[in-house]
Amino acid sequence: MPNAIAQEVSLLSSSKHGLGYLTPNDWTLIVDKASRINFRKGQTLIQRGKKSNGVYLLVKGAARVQILSRSTSPEVGVGEICGEMSFLDDVPASANVIAQQDVEAFFLDRPTLEKLFELFPHLASRFYRSLATNLSHRLREWIEPKPDR
């Protein structure tokens, strides 16, 4: 694995709010199959009301999640995922995600992930467990926001 990719895998795997249950081998498979996409500051990663057909894993930059019913906008940073809610229930996105600065992300579309999950069922188990943990964490922050965020 080239050094730059190894550094990105290290960032993704060490993120506090990332896909924490994935193994180094899982990350290698995911990064190998993902598309790298760049967004300029102000560009939309995910548009409310549209299906994204996959998930983004941020490797550089940060993005804001714009939720209509909230006055504050949560941030998605390096090592974190976005688009997972739409991915999980296969419906249009419930929020906009806008690049707050230049963003570099890995994009994994549904067919690619499903093929990986068929070939590596334990990867699927760890991936979905990570998503469940992240969504639980976000729901807890929604219910009882911390002043530092």
Quick one: DSSP state of residue 18? S
User: Which residues have C-beta within 8 Å of that of residue 137, sequence separation ≥ 6?
Assistant: 17
Quick one: DSSP state of residue 56? E
pTM, entire model: 0.89
Quote the tokens at residue 4: 């730059």
**Mean pLDDT, the chain, whole residue set:** 90
Domain ranges within the chain, ordered by starting residue: 3-143
Cα–Cα distance measured from residue 130 to residue 125, given in angstroms and rounded to the nearest whole number: 9
Label residue 17 by pLDDT band (50, 70, 90).
Answer: confident
The whole-number pLDDT of residue 112 equals 97
| Residue in the structure block whose two tokens are 């976000």 | 138
| Mean pLDDT computed over 13-24 | 90
Cβ atoms 47, 93 nearer than 8 A: yes
CATH no. for 3-143: 2.60.120.10
The whole-number pLDDT of residue 141 equals 81
Cα–Cα distance measured from residue 136 to residue 42, given in angstroms and rounded to the nearest whole number: 28
Per residue in 28-72, pLDDT tens?
Answer: 999 999 999 999 999 999 999 999 899 999 999 999 999 877 667
Quote the tokens at residue 47: 């548009």
| Mean pLDDT computed over 119-135 | 96
pLDDT at 148 over 60: no
Cα–Cα distance measured from residue 48 to residue 68, given in angstroms and rounded to the nearest whole number: 10
Task: Give all strands of the β-sheet with 75-76 in edge-to-edge order.
Answer: 44-46, 96-99, 63-66, 75-76
| Mean pLDDT computed over 75-89 | 93
- The alpha carbons of the chain give a radius of gyration, in whole angstroms, of 15
